[in-house]
C-alpha cells in the first residue's frame, strides 16, 4: 500500500581539492587595499591553499566514525585501515578541532539533521569533503539524515579547511528536504534534476540552474557527463571548464550544477562583493538577491572572525 510504503533515497555530494588558486583569487590579491580586520582575515583564509600530507592510497578509506547529537560528537568508531593511515586515524585532536570549528561557524538552526561525522581519506589532493544524504518517505512523512565526511590527508590547519566546510554547508543549504522534491523522481521532474534528486520549483538550485545553466551550459555538460567512460568524462570536463573559464569561480565548479552553486556560495561567503563583470561574478551576486542568504553570510563571517578573536 502506497501510504505505508517506505522509500529511501541516498545521495552523495563531494567537494574537490582547493590546492590551486584560481584566477578570481589572483585578481583579488593584486588589487589589495587596506580593509577592515575581519574582511582581511576572511580573504586570507580563503586564499590559504590546502597543504596535503602526501598520503597515497589505492581507494577511499573511512578512518573514524563519530555519532552526532546536536553540537556534540561521540566516538570514534575506528575502521580497519592500512598501516600508512594509522597516524591520521589516531589524530583525534585534529578531528575534534575540525568538528568544533564547524559547529562554531555554522549556526545550529541552519544545520541539517547530521547523524554522523566521518573522517576519510582518498589520498592527498582529491576529494576534500562529502555529504551523504538519505531521504526516507514514510506515508506523509519525509525525513532526512546527513553524514559529513572530511579528508584528513588534506587538512593542515583550520584555515585550510574553512572553504571545505563552507562548501559542504552549501550542500546542506541547497539539497535539504525543503529544497528537494523527494516525492518526484528525477525522470518525472519538471525542474532541475540530477541523477538522484528533483529540485523544487523555488529552490535555490533550480533558480540558479535556470539563470546560469539551462539555456547555455547544460546541453554541452549533459553530453559530456552522460558518457559511460569515466576517464573521458573527467578529461572532457576539464576542457569544458577551459572553454568557459569566465563562467566559473574555479575548475571544480564546472563539474556539476550542484557543485557550481556550492562553490559560488563559498566565494559569496568568503570574499568581498564582486562587481559582476563575468558570469562567475554574477553567480556570486545571485546570492545577494536573497535577503536570508545575505543575513546568513554575515552570520558565518562574523562567527569565523569571532573564532579567531578578530573584531568585525
Ligand atoms: Zn561539493
**Centroid of ligand 1 to alpha carbon of 114 (angstroms):** 16
**Centroid of ligand 1 to alpha carbon of 131 (angstroms):** 8
Closest CA to 149 of 135, 137, 133, 173: 133
**Centroid of ligand 1 to alpha carbon of 90 (angstroms):** 26
Lowest model confidence (mean pLDDT) among 6-10, 42-46, 189-193: 6-10
Lowest model confidence (mean pLDDT) among 43-57, 58-72, 191-205, 267-281: 43-57
Helix (H) or strand (E) holding 216: none
Q: What is the mean pLDDT of residues 215-244?
A: 95
**Centroid of ligand 1 to alpha carbon of 167 (angstroms):** 6
Contact 285, 253 (CB under 8 A): no
Residue 54 to residue 25: CA distance in whole angstroms: 25
pLDDT score, position 273: 97
Contact 14, 127 (CB under 8 A): yes
DSSP one-letter code for 175:
S
Residue 282 to residue 207: CA distance in whole angstroms: 13
Q: What percent of the chain is predicted at pLDDT more than 70?
A: 89
**Centroid of ligand 1 to alpha carbon of 183 (angstroms):** 23
**Centroid of ligand 1 to alpha carbon of 169 (angstroms):** 9
**Centroid of ligand 1 to alpha carbon of 233 (angstroms):** 17
Local confidence band at 33 (pLDDT 50, 70, 90 cut-offs) = low
**Centroid of ligand 1 to alpha carbon of 15 (angstroms):** 4
Cell numbers 567537494: residue: 15
In the three-class reduction of DSSP (H, G, I as helix; E, B as strand; rest coil), residue 253 is classed as helix
> How distant, in Å, are the alpha carbons of 9, 105, 269 from that of 119?
23, 19, 25
**Centroid of ligand 1 to alpha carbon of 33 (angstroms):** 31
Local confidence band at 27 (pLDDT 50, 70, 90 cut-offs) = very low
pTM of the predicted protein model? 0.90
Contact 200, 168 (CB under 8 A): no
Amino acid at each position: 500500500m502506497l501510504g505505508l510504503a517506505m522509500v529511501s533515497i541516498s545521495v552523495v555530494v563531494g567537494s574537490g581539492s582547493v590546492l590551486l588558486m584560481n584566477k578570481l583569487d589572483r585578481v583579488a590579491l593584486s588589487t589589495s587595499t587596506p580593509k577592515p580586520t575581519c574582511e582581511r582575515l576572511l580573504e586570507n583564509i580563503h586564499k590559504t591553499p590546502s597543504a596535503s600530507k602526501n598520503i597515497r592510497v589505492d581507494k577511499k578509506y573511512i578512518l573514524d566514525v563519530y555519532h552526532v547529537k546536536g553540537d556534540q560528537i561521540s566516538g570514534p568508531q575506528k575502521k580497519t585501515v592500512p598501516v600508512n593511515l594509522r597516524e591520521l586515524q589516531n589524530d583525534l585532536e585534529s578531528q575534534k578541532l575540525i568538528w568544533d570549528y564547524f559547529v562554531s561557524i555554522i549556526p545550529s538552526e541552519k544545520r541539517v539533521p547530521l547523524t554522523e561525522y566521518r573522517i576519510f581519506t582518498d589520498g592527498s589532493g582529491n576529494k576534500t569533503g562529502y555529504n551523504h544524504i538519505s531521504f526516507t518517505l514514510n506515508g506523509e512523512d519525509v525525513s532526512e539524515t546527513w553524514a559529513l565526511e572530511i579528508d584528513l590527508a588534506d587538512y593542515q590547519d583550520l584555515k585550510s579547511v574553512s572553504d571545505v566546510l563552507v562548501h559542504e554547508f552549501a550542500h546542506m543549504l541547497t539539497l535539504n528536504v525543503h529544497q528537494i522534491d523527494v516525492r518526484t523522481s528525477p525522470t518525472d521532474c519538471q525542474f532541475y534534476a540530477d541523477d538522484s534528486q528533483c529540485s523544487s520549483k523555488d529552490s535555490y538550485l533550480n533558480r540558479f540552474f535556470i539563470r546560469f545553466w539551462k539555456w547555455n551550459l547544460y546541453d554541452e555538460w549533459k553530453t559530456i557527463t552522460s558518457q559511460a567512460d569515466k576517464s573521458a568524462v573527467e578529461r572532457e570536463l576539464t576542457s569544458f571548464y577551459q572553454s568557459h573559464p569566465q563562467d566559473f569561480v574555479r575548475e571544480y565548479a564546472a563539474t556539476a550544477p550542484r557543485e557550481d552553486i556550492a562553490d559560488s556560495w563559498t566565494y559569496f561567503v568568503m570574499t568581498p562583493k564582486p562587481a559582476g563583470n563575468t558570469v562567475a561574478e554574477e553567480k556570486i551576486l545571485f546570492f545577494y538577491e536573497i535577503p536570508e542568504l545575505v543575513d546568513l553570510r554575515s552570520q558565518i563571517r562574523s562567527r569565523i572572525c569571532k573564532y579567531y578573536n578578530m573584531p568585525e
